[in-house]
């Protein structure tokens, strides 16, 4: 028997098995899985009553909230396609995505209705503007989320016609667009379903897990956590914004066992001065992705707090999980450096590291190639961008643009973005390796290493640092510190102190912006 793999299965199971268990904690609100399912069905019926049909794009702009969680399932079970918006983007950027995706209905948290009001009227494609607020205050010119769902039947929506196929698109997630217009990543039911299974298997998601949502739900569907945790009957603890005091209070009050985040959030948690004021659980798993974390962060997490660190690697285009680095692989004390690496392929994921000719590199810990992947989690393509899709998927692989080696444990060790390698005097230099050393300096809060032009060597490493408030660090001192840990040719030849580093709306470092001023007037640009 062949049954389509549909993400709605995860909520359907939770409603059947865990109907009376707490599904969502959002401020003072608590919903069981039975109540969550009822709200989802009501929203589905409300969208159907407005005329939303299979294949229509429905956008949501919201911080983490129970509304956001409801939207995933309410759209997918009627065959509509969810387009999560990054709330850190500007109005014109939102406008571009709404236009490009051909969005028909917009679901917006009341915190962001003014942002959308500022771009309304520029196009007439969007027909329905729905505002979600807990205070019940209606927004002029907006349909009200709660009023819509109160006024409809609680019965499950009728099945869409034609039936939903597992290869149908369930969401379009727009990338941050570091070098150009955002690209709409089309993820299918099958992509997200199998990614959720990999999360359950490799991250050990259980029925008794309580997840703190520090990761934005718009970010690749919360890395698939909206499906994986729901299917296992775990509890979603909603965090609208990152605040260390609130994070520790929720961990203590709700008995949090699991969280996914970027390294920048981990720093906020580690540097919170009042950790000792809280009675914290000991069985907490912190999953990081987005960038290789400084090794010092991992050591502090596990020694100071006693929590478990797990590293994953993936992209929006891979739903996202490709590899995982688990403590079981490196059990010896002091193996944090190896644990910070991307790790080994997940189940059902074939990872190849290929050279410029498309030939697999040897597993020698030295030969660098591009990470490429074959898997059912690889996306369907970029929405209405076939040329970009062909660049990303060819020769039977999805090409990530990330450079790596196979290390001594047969784990993927990422050395840089393909365009971020510093080639100095014919030597390839990994900027993350230098950055990892600089992060060990007690005065360094943030750092980035880029290649800048050099008459003799072609380019040399240049370090840009953000220091702790009140601290100072000279160029000579920073270079000397690097020389204590690195070969001489790898060390920065110059250092610059900045107030902040430019980042995208999803927190990714924009090295191309850092390079621009140094390469102006040069024939060769590293970009």
State the Rg of the chain over Cα: 23
> Strand 81-85 to strand 57-61: parallel, antiparallel, or no bridges (unpaired)?
parallel
| Cα–Cα distance measured from residue 163 to residue 61, given in angstroms and rounded to the nearest whole number | 28
In this prediction, residues 162-169 reach a mean pLDDT of 92
Q: Domain of 463?
A: 420-519
| H or E element that contains 74 | helix 66-76
Does residue 469 lie within any of the structural domains? yes
Label each residue of 194-246 as H, E or C.
Answer: HHHHHHHHHHCCCCCCEEEECCCCCCHHHHCHHHHHHHHCCEEEECCCCCHHH
Enumerate the β-bridge partners of residue 424. 427
pLDDT over 70 percentage in the chain: 91
Q: How many CA atoms lie within 13 A of 4 on its CB side?
A: 12
Query: Does residue 90 sit in helix, strand or coil?
Result: coil
Does residue 489 lie within any of the structural domains? yes
Does residue 498 lie within any of the structural domains? yes
pLDDT in tens, 115-161: 999 888 766 689 999 999 877 677 888 999 988 888 776 666 666 66
Does residue 272 lie within any of the structural domains? no
Task: Choose among 52, 224, 19: nearest CA to 143.
Answer: 52
Specify the number of domains making up the chain: 1
pLDDT in tens, 63-105: 999 999 999 999 999 999 999 998 888 788 889 999 999 999 9
pLDDT at 422 over 70: yes
Does residue 385 lie within any of the structural domains? no
Q: Which domain CATH number covers 441?
A: 3.30.300.30
* pTM of the full structure: 0.83
Does residue 341 lie within any of the structural domains? no
The answer, yes or no, to whether the previous bond of 162 is cis (omega within 30 of 0) is: yes
Does residue 349 lie within any of the structural domains? no
pLDDT of residue 159: 61
pLDDT of residue 89: 81
pLDDT in tens, 469-509: 899 999 999 999 998 887 787 899 999 999 988 877 667 77
pLDDT of residue 184: 96
In this prediction, residues 401-414 reach a mean pLDDT of 88
Classify each residue of 119-139 as buried b or exposed e, where b means 16 or more C-beta atoms within 10 Å of its C-beta.
beeeeeebebbbbbbbeeeeb
pLDDT of residue 161: 62
Does residue 460 lie within any of the structural domains? yes
Q: How many CA atoms lie within 13 A of 286 on its CB side?
A: 28
Taken in order 80, 86, 90, 93, the sign of the CA dihedral is negative
pLDDT at 332 over 60: no
């Amino acid at each position: 028997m062949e049954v389509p793999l549909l993400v709605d299965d995860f909520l359907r199971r939770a409603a059947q098995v865990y109907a009376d268990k707490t599904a969502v904690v959002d401020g003072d609100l608590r919903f069981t899985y039975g109540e969550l399912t009822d709200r989802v069905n009501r929203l589905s019926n409300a969208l159907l009553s407005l005329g939303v049909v299979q294949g229509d794009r429905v956008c949501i702009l919201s911080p983490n909230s129970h509304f956001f969680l409801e939207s995933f399932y309410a759209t997918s079970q009627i065959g509509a396609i969810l387009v999560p918006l990054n709330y850190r983007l500007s109005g014109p950027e939102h406008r571009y995505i709404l236009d490009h995706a051909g969005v028909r209905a917009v679901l917006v948290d009341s915190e962001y209705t003014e942002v959308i009001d500022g771009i309304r009227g520029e196009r007439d494609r969007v027909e329905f503007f729905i505002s979600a607020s807990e205070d019940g205050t209606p927004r002029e010119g907006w349909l009200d989320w709660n009023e819509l769902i109160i006024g409809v039947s609680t019965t499950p929506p009728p099945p869409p016609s034609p039936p939903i196929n597992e290869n149908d698109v369930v969401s379009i997630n727009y990338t941050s667009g570091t070098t150009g217009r955002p690209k709409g990543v089309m993820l299918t039911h099958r992509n997200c379903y199998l990614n959720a299974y990999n999360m359950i298997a490799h991250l050990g998601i259980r029925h008794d897990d309580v997840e703190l949502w520090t990761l934005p739900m718009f970010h690749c569907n919360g890395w698939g956590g909206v499906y994986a945790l729901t299917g296992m009957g775990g509890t979603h603890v909603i965090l609208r914004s990152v605040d260390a005091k609130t994070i520790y209070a929720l961990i203590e009050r709700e008995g949090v066992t699991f969280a996914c985040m970027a390294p920048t959030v981990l720093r906020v948690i580690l540097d919170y001065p009042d950790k000792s004021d809280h009675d914290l659980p000991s069985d907490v798993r912190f999953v990081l992705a987005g960038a290789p974390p400084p090794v010092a962060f991992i050591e502090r997490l596990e020694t100071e707090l006693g929590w478990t660190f797990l590293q994953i690697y993936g992209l929006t285009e891979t739903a996202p999980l490709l590899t995982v680095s688990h403590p079981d692989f490196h059990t010896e004390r002091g193996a944090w450096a190896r644990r910070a690496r991307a790790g080994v392929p997940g189940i059902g994921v074939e990872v190849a590291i290929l050279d410029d000719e498309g030939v697999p590199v040897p597993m020698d810990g030295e030969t660098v190639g591009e990470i490429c992947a074959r898997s059912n989690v690889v996306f369907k393509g970029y929405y209405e961008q076939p040329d970009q899709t062909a660049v990303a998927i060819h020769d039977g692989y999805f090409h990530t643009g990330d450079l790596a080696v196979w290390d001594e444990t047969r784990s993927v060790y990422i050395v840089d973005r393909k365009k971020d390698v510093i080639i100095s005097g014919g030597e390839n230099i990994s900027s993350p390796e230098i950055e990892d050393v600089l992060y060990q300096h007690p005065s360094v809060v943030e750092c980035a290493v880029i290649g800048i032009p050099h008459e003799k060597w072609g380019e040399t490493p240049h370090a840009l640092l953000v220091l702790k408030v009140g601290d100072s660090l000279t160029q000579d001192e920073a270079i000397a510190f690097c020389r204590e840990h690195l070969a001489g040719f790898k060390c920065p030849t110059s250092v610059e102190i900045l107030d902040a580093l430019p980042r995208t709306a999803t927190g990714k470092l924009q090295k191309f912006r850092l390079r621009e001023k140094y390469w102006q007037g040069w024939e060769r640009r590293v970009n």
